[in-house]
Structure formats: structure tokens, C-alpha cells
Amino acid sequence: MDFPQEYFRAEVRDGFYVDGMLKRAWAEGIEVLNVIDEICSKHHITWYADNGTLLGAVRHGGYIPWDDDVDICMMRDDFMRFREIVEEELPEGWRFLSWRSRNPEDRIYDSLCKVTNARDVYMDEDYLNQHHQFPYTTTIDIFVLDYLPRDQKTREEWVQMAALARETSLLGKRIEDPKDMEAKKWVDALARIMGYTYNKEETLSYQVDYLVEKVFAGNKPEDCDEIALLPYFLADHSHVYQKSWYEHTIQIQFENVMLPVPLVFDGVLETEYGKNYGIPYRGGWVHEFPYFAKLERLLYPNGKIPFRYQLDEAGMKALLEKRECKAPEREKVVFIISHADRWKYVEAYYLEKRAAGAEVKVVVVPYYYVNFRGLPISQEYEIDRLPADLPIVSCVDIDLEQYRPSEIVTSDPFDRWNCSECIDPGYFTSELRKNTDKLTYISPFTTDEPKERDPNLYIVMEHYVNAPALFYADEIRVQSEEMKQGYIRKLIEVVQRKLDAKEEWAEGFENLLEDDIRAIFENKIHVMPELKEVNYWHYKKENLEMPVSWERKLKDENGNWKKAVYYNMNLGVFFRNPEKAIKQLEKVLLKEETDHQVFIYRPEKMMLEYIQLIAPEVEEQYQKFLAIAEKKNNIILDEEEWPDLGYAISDSYYGDGDSTATLFQNVGRQVVHEKLEG
């Protein structure tokens, strides 16, 4: 699959910093998923995005930014067909992990199965070039859905047998221990109830899982209205779904691909995550994040990962050096810009310097996409992507050493210490510092605040705070006082960690106290509140081109803009109860018109086709609703090819908690979640 190199850039998504190596892991997850999809399509096997992958697709349009794996599910009959053919269909070197895997080394006695694309960490160039420069294994978890009997008495009897089978399988290695008499009682009881005689050809663990599957798969679809992930259901009666929710499949966006999801994904997500699943929550991770961190430690046991900055003597001396920033009669300020999309982060400071009468130049410099070893793959030069009215100077037309600006401003913190890109070496912060009395670094990573209730934000700060610019710059600008204190805490950790390692170069700094480090960064780091506003600077109604019919509805009789509310009801919610959904649309959108508010409603693509297929009884009512809505002065039916215009015009959001709601939240607009009861 093709991923543009730009995809692997570090970025902030939904207030969370996503590192370039995590992006490479994401791409590999999609590649493995694509192979599974090709196998399933070839053999007419249905599968669905599940758990965090389903939630990410619906709420974020891709991976949950603080997640790193992929989950899918299949109905039991589809899974059993998949299991029979998958090992023959997988590419060479890939593995299918389950209790029935043909290779004994690939057998796992667990409630789920896995497809993984490698057996080890591979560093050879050919492998890296074929796997997005990601050397670690990538695994897809496959969950199996089973039917629950409709008849209550039948269900109770079946649950007892299923619970016995599940509890026996959870004994794990104890099953094979002939001296474990307690485990033997469970194993024998299962065989007795199932009328089964254990043989010596297969291990007891294998045969127990055979019996587990026989029980789990024992119910006929026609006798059931509900399905479940049985390991969860048997533990606490959770993860129970209506069978009808999975009877139809739709495709929704996930990064750069489309994934199959159950039509009534709203019911599935509410079952798994509660009614507020649309509100992002960054609780504790089930496993270490990212999952490949333990593999990195195996690969680099000394902790010196080649693309992670290691504070050294030069960086420490720069930190401790007391430089005199002489105030010239007229400042000469140079803004170093490598990425055009980072201009918005320095723009406020640029305007401040212009207003103060400084001689300002914007120097555009090249950057390179790099491979895992840091070697250049391609050069990028974005001089044509910046606003044309800026005082732009090509990097080849200015000698910084000779020009000697009083201040240089950069938003590139990493120098060469980055796994996906590298600025031209002549513009590393270690070099820029030599050509000015004052080097200013403005952070382009505007994340949510690292509050105590959300420790994950603080954990990932290591990636963008432990960087050369934070040591070589004379002044650092961040979004808030709270973020400043987060930076200081993290930077103190970085310095103390290096001093505690007792490397030879650190011997001269052993008397440095925590309070000394804190005082240095308290003086260096400044708050620049404009950084929190850059995400929505460019959404000004008066600057947007829009259909005349839209502008007519958006302005009152005096030419003033009305408040625009973006209303959204997604397919998963609609088809959970189509009749109730239409009544809700009418209640919200067809109410009495006001002079101060307009709703923007974008009918879901394929809505009518799905209604005709799944709920034809409401087609006439939905068509009538659209006809009335189109004539009302307080409703804009957004039928533009892309939704961006409707997003930009809207002042707030009201509706379901999906990726559209997340987008509004990210740009600082008011978000009110609606929950239609099923």
C-alpha cells in the first residue's frame, strides 16, 4: 500500500502527540489488515472492525491517537472458515496464532487469535523498505462472536456448560501438570459432561480448547437474537449485542483506507464503552504504550535509540551558558521555516516583531524524509506553500554567519534526532546558536494540558521535550503556564537521568542541583497563549467562499452573521431505531425558526440507499423531512462534495460523538453531545 512520506511526520492529533515511529506502526497495522481483508474477500468471509479500532474509526476517522494496535472480529462460522485457509494464504514468514495452528510453535491457548507479520525484529534494508521502516512485529487481534440462546432455560443450561469449559481453559499450564489434582478434576469434569475421551495424540491443552470451541459454537443462529464475546460475557455478562446490529455492513474511513463495520455500530460502541463513547478518554493502557517499547529495549539495551536525543556535554554546556542578548538599535530577526504548515505557530511572534519595527526575514530551508537509520530518502522544499506577502528569502540567498541576526526563531526542535525527517544540518539548533545572540524556539506541538488526571499526556512529552532545541535555545515559547511546568518537570527528569548514568562527560556537572535546573528553565521558557488559538485562526466566515443560498440564510436582515450550529446524526445511530431517529431530526431541525441561529445538516452519503435496503418503511418520512428542511430559512442542507465548508462556517456542534464531533473539539468550538436512546 502507498503511504506518502508526509504521513510519517510527528503530529498532534486530538490534543495528543503522535510520534513518527508510532505512525510507522500504524501503517504496518493497516498493511496486515489489508492482507487479512484480501484473504477474506477471496473466500467470502465477513469481518468487522472491533473494540478500539471500531471506536477509532467512528470517533477519530482512524487510530485512536493513544492506541497502537488493531482489533477485528468475526462471527464463529466465518472465523472457522478463516482458520482453515489462513495459514495457506498468508505471506511467507507470517504467523497465525491460535490453539489450532498447524505449527506447534504458533499455538496459543487463549480466547482470541492473532495474525502477525514476522517472527522477530528485522533490521536488514530490504525488510525495512518493504515495511515502512518499521523493524518490529505487527499483530492483529481477532475476536470471535458467538450466539446466545433465546430460550431462557436453554441459555441457563448452556451458560453453565460454557462457564465450565472456559474456567478449565483458564487453568493454562496447570492442565498439563499430572501432579495438579485440582486441575485434573476440572479437566475430567469437562470431558465427562461433554462425553469426550482424551487421547494421547494431542496435548490436553489442545483438547480442552477443542471442547471449549465445541460448546461456544453449539447454538444455531435461528434460535438466537443476541451474540456475545463469550470470554467477557461469562466473566461479567458484558459484551452482549443484538444479532441484528451485524446483519448489514457499511464501510467507514480509517486513516487512508475504508473498514467494514456493523451498520448499527452505535449499539456496539455503547455496549463496549458506554453512552459517552464519543467523548475521548485517555485512561490507563491495557499494555505498555507503545507496544514496541519493550522491543526497542531489547534492540537497544543501553537505552541509546539512534533517533532519540541523548543529552551530551555540548547540550549541557549550552544549557548552562549565560549569554548576553544585546539589544540593537533595530532588531534583525530571522524566522527559519522548513514546513509551511508550521508558519501558523510563529505567525503571532512574527507580527509582534514587525509591529516593533524589527527588520524581519523569513528564510525557507529544506528538510529531508529519512529512513530508520536516519539516511535521507527525499528532499522537500516548501517555499511556494507559504503566504506570498511574507518577506521570504531562499536559504541559498542569505549567509546567516555574515548577516548575523540579533535573533533567530525556529520551530524545528529535533535536529537529526527524529525517525522520519531531518532539517538540513546547517540549520540544526546547535548551528543556529552560533550565528545569533538569541535563539528562540517556538513549539509547534500544541497538545492538551498534561494534567494529573491524564498522565499519558505527560508520558509522551518525552518525545518532543527531550530535544536539542530545548537545550540550545535561549528562549522557549509554549502554550500555557501549565504546559511550561510540564516542560520543566520533564526536562529536569532528562538532565537528572543523564547525570545519574554517570557518563564520563557528566563528571563536571555532578554538583548541579534540581533547583538550579528548575531556575534555568523557569527563565528560558515563556508562555505564548496565541499557540492555543492557531487551530482555529483560519476559520473566518467572511474569508470563505460559499454558495449564495448559504450566505443568504446565514445573515440576518442587517447583514450580521447568525450563529451556525452543525448538526450530525450518523448511520450507526440512525439505524439503531430509524423511526425514532427521524422524529429526532424533525424535533431538532424543524422547530420554529429564529433570527439568530442556523443549523447546518449534512445528510449521510448512502443514507437513502441504506433506508431502501434496511428500513423501507421510513423512506417516505425521511424524504418528506428533507423536502421541508430544504425550504426552511434556518436550515442549510450541506450537499457540497466535501464537508470542510460546513465545518468552517459552524460556530458549534450538536449531535453524535463521532469523528466530526472530535474535529470541532480540536479547533476549539463548542461541542454538545446528543444521545438518541435506542
- Determine the pLDDT at residue 288: 82
- Predicted pLDDT of residue 452: 56
The structural domains of the chain, ordered by start, are: 17-259 (no CATH), 313-535 (no CATH), 541-673 (3.40.50)
Q: Is the pLDDT of residue 99 over 60?
A: yes
Lookup result for grid cell 490507563: 284
The answer to whether residue 378 scores a pLDDT higher than 90 is yes
Q: How far apart are CA 602 and CA 648, in angstroms?
A: 13
pLDDT at 458: 84
Q: Which amino acid is at 618?
A: V
Q: What is the pLDDT of residue 678?
A: 56
- What average pLDDT does this structure show over 553-562? 93
Q: Residue 677: which pLDDT band, with cuts at 50, 70 and 90? A: low
For the segment 378-384, the average pLDDT, to the nearest whole number, is 96
**Nearest partner of 36 among 109, 84, 91, judged by Cα:** 91
Residue recorded with cell 541523548: 310
Mean pLDDT for 213-237 is: 96
**pTM, full prediction:** 0.91
| Integer Cα distance of 545 and 288 in angstroms | 47
Convert the pLDDT of each residue in 181-201 to its tens digit. 999 999 999 999 999 999 999
Residue 537 has a pLDDT of 43
| Residue 347: all three cell numbers together | 505567525
Can you say whether residue 172 is alpha, beta or left, with left for phi > 0 and alpha for psi between -120 and 50 degrees? left
Per-residue confidence (pLDDT) for residue 536, from 0 to 100: 47
Rounded to an integer, the average pLDDT of 642-667 is 89
User: Under 8 Å CB-to-CB from 554, ≥6 apart: which residues?
Assistant: 541, 546, 561, 562, 564, 598, 636, 649
| pLDDT range class, residue 283, cuts 50, 70, 90 | low
Mean pLDDT of 90-107: 93
Could you tell me what percent of the chain has a pLDDT over 70? 98
| pLDDT recorded at residue 479 | 95
- Per-residue pLDDT at 258 exceeds 70: yes
Distance CA 14, CA 280 (A): 9
| Banded model confidence at residue 303, pLDDT cuts 50, 70, 90 | confident
Q: What is the pLDDT of residue 279?
A: 83
Q: What percent of the chain has pLDDT over 90?
A: 81
- pLDDT, residue 135, reads 96
Average pLDDT over residues 386-400: 95
Instruction: From 454, 472, 354, select the one nearest 410 (Cα to Cα).
Output: 472
Paired strand residues for 569: none
More confident residue, 389 or 644: 389
Q: What is the mean pLDDT of the chain?
A: 93
Residues in contact with 547: Cβ distance below 8 Å, sequence separation at least 6, in sequence order: 640
- The kind and range of the H/E element at 182 are helix 181-194
Residues 295-305, mean pLDDT to the nearest whole number: 90
Residue 539 has pLDDT above 60, yes or no: no
pLDDT in tens, 464-511: 999 999 999 999 999 999 999 999 999 999 999 999 988 889 888 988
> What does the pLDDT average to over 273-294?
82
pLDDT at 507: 86
